[in-house]
Structure 1
Amino acid sequence: MNGPPPSPPASFPAFDVSKSEQSDALTIVGLTVTYRTRGREREVLQDVSFRIKRGESYGLVGESGCGKSTVAMATLRYLPRNGRVKAGRISIAGKEVHSLDAVALREMRANAISMVYQDPSRALNPSLTVARQVSEAFEASGATYDEALTRTAEMLRKVRIAEPERVMDSYPHQLSGGMQQRVVIAMALASQPALLILDEPTTGLDATVEAEVLDLVAQLREEFGTAVLFISHNLAVIGRMCERVGVLYAGKLVEEGATQDVFARPRHPYTVGLLRCLPTSDRSKDTDRLDTIAGSLPQPGSVTQGCIYAERCRLADDRCRREAPPPYRVKSQYGDQMSRCHYHERAMELPRVTALHASDDASDDAPSDVPDNARSAHDHSPVLRAENVSKTFHVPGATLRAVDDVSLELAKGETLGLVGESGSGKTTLAKLLLGLISPDAGSVIELDGARLPPRVTNRNDDQVKSLQIVFQNPDSALNRAHSVKRLIGRALSRLSSLHGPARDERLASLTQAVRLPDRYLTSRTRQLSGGLKQRVAIARAFAGDPRIVVCDEPTSALDVSVQAAILNLLADLQRDRGVSYVFISHDLHVVRYLSDRIAVLYVGRLLEIGPADAVFNGPHHPYTEALLSSVPTLDGHAGEPDETRDNSRTQRIRLSGELPSAASPPSGCVFHTRCPRKLGAICEQQDPPFTDAGDGHRIRCHIPVDELRVLQRRD
């Protein structure tokens, strides 16, 4: 936040701070923010009002582009040059933000408010040690250099960093993502701020690290009495962390109330739609199609009459398109609930999207051009087999065993989910299957029973086309300079059998299959939303009729509405084309929804593999048990009446210590250094064999399966 602060807007209204506002950590009243683009001002926030009490946690949810981060930037008075506060007021701990001069504003940013961003690696200076960066935060609050170093070590202990002195001497790139995020939180809490803003702080983290970070925020919030504004598209995280929640849509707050009220009985169709998009523990691709929200966000300032959600709402009528709904307020179980919907009492009656018209930002489902004989469920014959696959990296001073003796099979039309913490070897294993890196000697990878050359450069055209990948971030995989038509067309050009009209026909069928409207074919990827970019990436991967597609975190950066549409699309393409997936994700709800079988990796070792229901329902390996216990959930069926909700909760299992290094993995059972169910010396000395839990479910643990079943039922 360098440079002079922007001047207060000339039109900013004067007001007297009330006693209630003085007792609030944050008060926002009637906030309207505009961005000037192409010579025209567009309202990105319209009349937004909410308040956060001292020590309270408030969640702000909505799709990308709804204005969540703009609220944070306006609160910090750090809008970009083309942005301005057109109307409204913001006060922090009783002080009006836009009335402060440069010195007072700098002091407020240093002492009263802190922010934690989504990507910790971008918030940390790669050229400075952790000690220097964290101590600067204390020095900004008036501490001497020596005092700052002492308090830095203390704060790193508070954020559960073991050996803080060692970490202080480290540079950011030497730390894991979870460690980096804890360092950023330590910096944010150095001043014991009245308000902490968290903008998607756990998006890229594993389930266990995410749970640790959330536990940490809750603990420190209680200790320091800090209020929290939690911005996230992960509704389960909001449900766990926040007492109250506000739902933003196209710059307007369309619903607000106690989190338990809003999530149990939402009163706005948009909130109902968001909750129904979520994959839950009792849903799978074979039994239940995810709901989606049709259409897309309107352009800022484009809706001048009626309800801003009317064009996407299946309850909307002429009144909705004619009259903008006021904020209706009702008494709910845990407090007042506000909804900007004329029919808020009927919001729960919102018709569900059916398989006949389940699309989000495209046209209705297009019929596939795939012949009927291709539409078959997986027949259990292995299309891909990996046996005793290992990968060792040799780096200066160390030998890293990233994948260690992994064997698995993938059937035709099947999805195998790969789960485990960052550094467990998931992506390395995927690259080995694709031939992007070579495995160690003795590793065997077969396609349809024929051995694959280790490197993709030595595979023939049919083998290359048979295995494709969809990356987590389509921006890094798609050339921004090319049109959508050229990106997909280049993939089709590798098919020697397709020329001229045949290729155009195939291009059209692909875009229909991924529900990408023709109007986007001439667009550059920079002009597309995240969901549309991922559709382009999927169409390109399917251009050569692949047998197997590796999906590496394909939905982690997407909103829940776009995620639901992509998951439905992957399920449809699998059903229509008989393709198999290797699906990598940190989100275990997503993995369970899409996967037929699950493989659990830890420090390169396969600890458990089996049918998805068996792995999730137990008995499971103690590591799997810890992963599952770390996942935040919206209990039962979000968006359904209370009587259908299952309020059971799994006790959170906290794993001690960090993931061991692949350069020096533990002896015996690789998990014994963190295992809460460790038996003793046998775990330290002997590598456990796989034991059969039935129906192809295998667990690598010294504890007998029946005993694991009893222990896990008891807990």
Structure 2
Amino acid sequence: MNGPPPSAFPAFAVPKRDRADALTIVGLTVAYRMRGRERDVLQDITLRVRRGEAYGLVGESGCGKSTAALAVLRYLPRNGRVKAGKISIGGRDVASLHADALRDMRANAVSMVYQDPGRALNPSLTIARQVSEAFEASGASADDALARTVDILRRVRIASPERVMESYPHQLSGGMQQRVVIAMALACNPELLILDEPTTGLDATVEAEVLDLIAQLRAELGTAVLFISHNLAVIGRMCDRVGVLYAGKLVEEGVTRDVFARPRHPYTVGLLRCLPTSGRSKDMGRLDTIPGSLPLPGTVTQGCIYAERCKLADARCLRDAPPPYRVASANGDQMARCHYHERAIELPRATPEAASDPVDLSLAPVALKARNVSKTFRVGNELVRAVHDVSLDLAQGETLGLVGESGSGKTTLAKLMLGLLSPDEGATLELDGAALPARVTRRNDEQVKSLQIVFQNPDSALNRAHSVRRLIARSLSKLASLRGAAKEERLQSLTESVRLPERYLSARTRQLSGGLKQRVAIARAFAGDPRVVVCDEPTSALDVSVQAAILNLLADLQRERGVSYVFISHDLHVVRYLSDRIAVLYLGRIMEIGRAADVFGGPQHPYTEALLSSVPSLDGSAGAHGGRIRLSGELPSAANPPSGCVFNTRCPRKLGAICEEQEPPYADAGGAHRIRCHIPIEELRSLQSQES
């Protein structure tokens, strides 16, 4: 871990705290006024976060996690109010604070880090100005605030704080922006730090760095943490205790290890089963899902709020709301609001497993071929090589996963395949053995239909003013053979294929949940029977329950239609589940490519090894080999890449001058598994097996 020791920063020494809990919530009920009536979005929530403790709050979107955080800060929107209950921070009743005391509490006792650091930073101010303002809000002079800004940026592991201070937010990477936001949140040395999805949009390596940083600073400063996330593996790694929210109620709570090892509420069981666990692939069977959806706030007036979605529910559950049952578990007390909490672990699957025999893709024809594909952009006076001499084949019915840090060239490569960007001279593309024009504007209708894309955010791809029927029908209207009844039959077939209920056809997309919007986007992409579909982070913004349904859907459609996928994601468990082969990109170059089982099983390129070691798991560990490999420095600029092996400036296994002077060739690791590294394959295998 780089940077001076904590003792170098007397301004951030751990203060003496009183014995009160950092956060206490008792009987909290919060209501929003919607369409003339109040609806309870949180109901009778009771929890506490002890001094120095990390408490995780999990659940689907809409369950009330962020509302709980805003209530703690007394920052609810105008249509929201606390109907009942009490919130205390460090023993102080938040509701009783007058305006000046509330401002003082927000400046000195509690801080919050949001999901999107770009929206939390002012684009018109330098980093120095924004961070120093956080110190000034705590009473520091302007000169002292600037001096302390250097120290706090160094503390959050920013290597060149003086340079970063002169930068504007848009000049920093996402991980760097998030570290700046955390620095601002820690400026007042808060008693309580609230983190609302702080790593959702980050790469595996950057996410791991941010999580390490939070853990380190929590240990140094004694800060309590309320960690809100739908990423259960991150919660497993970071949090001592966890609370599970469903439809505004706390349905389970306990020590994280106990809850994840033996959940006692069917909803928690369902969430955990939705995850694509380490080493699991689509050939091993479909992921389990949670049927139905969250009830509207305030609609459940009696019985168990989860009864309509629970396969254990009976007449008692519909009639009587379960009390908080408490039992002793291995590491502490565990609470669950379920009449049958002892049997929750026996919950029947909601989705048939339907394992299938692996397909021998070596015999499948090549759907898409790319040879010597490069892309150079001119940025100011510099030439930036975003993709460098990439060649690959995509077989019919195959999923190729593209992984690598932000800036590695994944999305640029996908756009080159789609014809949204023109490659440099010398590149060739073929579709089903026929030449494919570089630009989409030069492709015929059949070629355009054959390559489609599903975006990360369906809102950016779907017109909010149009109905679902019109959005899908517009894509079908481009098919000359479909008219009248045939077109309607095709539309019905598509919506059934993507499991989109017919009642949603007349709805506008703004009325749909994130998962339903993504189904509409997938239906539109499949309207023309595509040969290749690029999936660019299609599940990263979705809850684990919705993510599981979308992954099952993509796998089912591939089996039924023989479509090929190029699948881009930062979540390596998701990539492992859906992909047949994986290509690892770094500075626009493929550093490793091979079957998913081979890439994950090893031997691996040192960069792949570092990526896999950064992935958290439910048991709180990280990495394919049990320990995280930390990469030094930031991703180098594609305008001035390192000589020799482009990874040599960050490689933990660097040999010496040969890595700096000579570009490594591909080495054959067997079974069409290739690694671009100077270290011999057998030596890589031996080194990595010793550390596993």
Give the TM interval when normalised to the shorter protein. Answer: over 0.9
Counterpart amino acid of 1:420?
G
In 2, Cα distance between the equivalents of 1:218 and 1:453? 51
Which of 396, 412, 437 aligns to 1:453? It is: 437
Does the alignment pair 1:535 with 2:526? no
Deviation at 1:380, TM superposition (A): 2.6
2:22 partner SS: strand
Q: Is the Cα–Cα contact under 8 Å of residues 21 and 91 in structure 1 kept in the other structure?
A: no
Amino acid in the other structure paired with 1:100: L
1:234 pairs with 2:231: yes
Check whether the contact 1:58–1:242 (CA below 8 A) recurs between aligned residues. yes
Report the equivalent of 1:692. Answer: 668
Moved over 4 A (4+): 375-379, 645-649
Q: Quick one: distance in 2 between partners of 1:226 and 1:34?
A: 30
Taking structure 1 as the reference length, what is the TM-score of the superposition? Answer: 0.93
Alignment partners' CA distance in 1, 2:579 and 2:360: 13
Q: Does residue 1:672 correspond to 2:669, yes or no?
A: no
1:476-524, Cα deviation, whole Å (9 max, x unpaired)? 0100010000000100011011001110000000000000001000100
1:384 corresponds to which residue?
368
Once residues 180 and 456 of structure 1 are traced to their aligned partners in structure 2, the CA distance between those partners, rounded to angstroms, is 35
Preserved contact between residue 635 and residue 647 of structure 1 (Cα < 8 Å): no
Question: What is the aligned counterpart of 2:383 among 375, 382, 399?
Answer: 399
Task: Please give the alpha-carbon distance, in whole angstroms, between the structure 1 residues aligned to 2:272 and 2:18.
Answer: 32
TM-score between both structures, scaled by the size of structure 2: 0.96
The aligned counterpart of 2:10 is none
* 1:508 paired to 2:492: yes
Is 2:286–2:353's contact at 8 Å kept on the other side of the alignment? no
Closer, same or farther: CA 27–317 of 1 in aligned 2, 3 Å:
same
Give 1:683's aligned residue: 659
Aligned to 2:464: 480
Contact 1:377 1:578 in 2 (8 A): no
The structural deviation recorded for 1:357 is 10
Pairing of 1:429-468 with structure 2 (within 5 A): 429-468=413-452
- Preserved CA contact (<8 Å) 2:400 2:565: yes
Is 2:286–2:354's contact at 8 Å kept on the other side of the alignment? no
CA distance in 2, matches of 1:75, 1:357: 45
Is the CA contact (8 Å cut-off) linking 1:112 and 1:193 kept in structure 2? yes
Partner residue of 1:517 out of 483, 488, 501: 501
Q: Is 2:331 aligned against 1:334?
A: yes
- Residue equivalent to 2:264: 267
Residues 1:482 and 1:284: Cα distance change in structure 2 (over 3 Å):
same
* 1:221 alignment partner AA: R
CA, structure 1 residues 649+700, in 2 after alignment: closer, same or farther (shift >3 Å)? closer
Q: What amino acid is aligned across from residue 67 of structure 1 in structure 2?
A: G
**Matched letter for residue 410 of structure 2:** K
What corresponds to 1:49 in structure 2?
A: 46
Partner of 2:477: 493
Match of 1:594 among 555, 575, 578: 578
What amino acid does structure 2 have at the position aligned with 1:87? A
Query: 8 Å contact 2:325–2:338 — kept in the other structure?
Result: yes
SS in 2 for 1:338: strand
**What does the per-residue CA deviation read over 1:525-553, in whole Å, with 9 as the maximum and x for residues that have no partner?**
00000000000000000000000000000
Percent identity between the two aligned chains: 79
Contact 2:236 2:619 (8 Å CA) reproduced: no
Q: Which amino acid aligns with 2:506?
A: T
Q: Contact (CA 8 Å) 1:403, 1:428: kept in 2 or not? A: yes
Give, as a single letter, the amino acid of the residue that structure 2 aligns with 1:126. Answer: P
- Pick closer, same or farther for the CA change 1:576–1:264 going to 2, 3 Å: same
1:634 lines up with 2:618 in the alignment: yes
Q: Distance in 1 between matches of 2:224 and 2:155?
A: 18
Matched, 1:605 2:589: yes
User: Relative to structure 1, is the Cα distance of residues 697 and 377 closer, same or farther in structure 2, using a 3 angstrom cutoff?
Assistant: closer
Shift in Å, 1:635: 4.0
* Matched residue type, 1:467: L
Distance (Å, rounded) in 2 between the aligned partners of 1:649 and 1:261: 24
Q: Evaluate the alpha carbon distance shift between residue 532 and residue 185 of structure 1 in structure 2; reply closer, same or farther with a 3 A threshold.
A: same
Q: 1:205 aligns with which of 186, 202, 224?
A: 202
Q: Determine helix, strand or coil for the equivalent of 2:283.
A: coil
Compute the displacement of 1:356 (Å): 8.1
- SS of 1:45 mapped into structure 2: strand
Contact 2:195–2:226 (8 Å) recurs in 1: yes
- Residue-by-residue CA offset, 1:16-73 (whole Å, 9 max, x unaligned): xxxx995200000000000001110000000000000010000000000000000000
Q: In structure 2, what residue type is equivalent to 1:617?
A: G
Contact 2:237–2:619 (Cα < 8 Å) also in 1 = no
1:107 pairs, out of 100, 104, 108, with 104
- Pairing 1:288–2:285 present: yes
Q: Number of paired residues? A: 672
Aligned residue among 425, 440, 464 for 2:409: 425
Q: Which amino acid aligns with 2:103?
A: R
The one-character-per-residue Cα deviations of 1:147-190 (angstroms, maximum 9, x if unpaired) are 10110010000111111000000000000000000000000000
Is the Cα–Cα contact under 8 Å of residues 56 and 242 in structure 2 kept in the other structure?
yes
User: Taking structure 1 as reference, are residues 471 and 608 closer, same or farther at Cα in structure 2, changes over 3 Å only?
Assistant: same
Please give the residue correspondences for 1:553-564 in structure 2 after superposition, counting only pairs within 5 Å. Answer: 553-564=537-548
The answer to whether the 8 A contact 1:418-1:601 is kept is: yes
Pick from 232, 246, 251 the counterpart of residue 249 of structure 1: 246
Q: Are the aligned partners of 1:197 and 1:228 in contact in 2 as well (CA < 8 Å)?
A: yes
Compute the displacement of 1:138 (Å). 0.3
Counterparts of 2:18 and 2:511, CA distance in 1 = 42
Q: For 2:633, which of 622, 637, 657 is the aligned residue?
A: 657
Distance 1:635 1:388 in 2: 43
**SS of the residue aligned with 1:694?**
coil
Measure the CA separation in 2 of the matches of 1:687 and 1:654: 23
Q: Secondary structure of 2:170's partner?
A: helix
Question: How far apart, in 2, do the equivalents of 1:498 and 1:523 lie?
Answer: 23
**Deviation digits for residues 74-116 of structure 1, max 9, x if unmatched?**
0000000000000000000010000000000000000000000
SS at match of 1:675: coil
2:130 is the alignment partner of 1:146: no
Deviation at 1:354, TM superposition (A): 3.6
Displacement of 1:376: 8.1
Tell me if 1:39 matches 2:53: no
Q: Offset at 1:649? A: 5.8
Aligned to 2:396: 412
CA positional deviation for 1:451: 1.5
SS at match of 2:39: strand
Query: Is 2:127 the partner of 1:130?
Result: yes
Distance (whole Å) between structure 2 residues aligned to residue 427 and residue 476 of structure 1: 16
**Alignment RMSD (CA, Å):** 1.6
> Structure 2 unaligned runs (5+)?
1-16
Q: Is the 8 A contact 1:25 1:94 kept in 2?
A: yes
Relative distance call for 1:304 and 1:357 in structure 2 (3 A) is farther
Match of 1:713 in 2: 689
Partner of 2:689: helix, strand, or coil?
helix
Q: Distance in 2 between matches of 1:649 and 1:192?
A: 35
Q: Distance in 2 between matches of 1:656 and 1:517?
A: 49
CA distance in 1, matches of 2:420, 2:409: 14
Return the alpha-carbon distance in structure 2 between the equivalents of residues 381 and 657 of structure 1. Answer: 42
Residue 138 of structure 1 aligns with an amino acid whose one-letter code is F
Structure 2 contact 285–354 (Cα < 8 Å) conserved? no
Is residue 121 from structure 1 mapped to residue 144 from structure 2 by the alignment?
no
Q: Distance in 2 between matches of 1:515 and 1:659?
A: 41
Determine the structure 2 residue equivalent to 1:157.
154
CA separation of 1:396 and 1:618: change in aligned 2, threshold 3 A: same
Residues 377 and 575 in structure 1, CA contact (< 8 A), matched pair in contact too: no
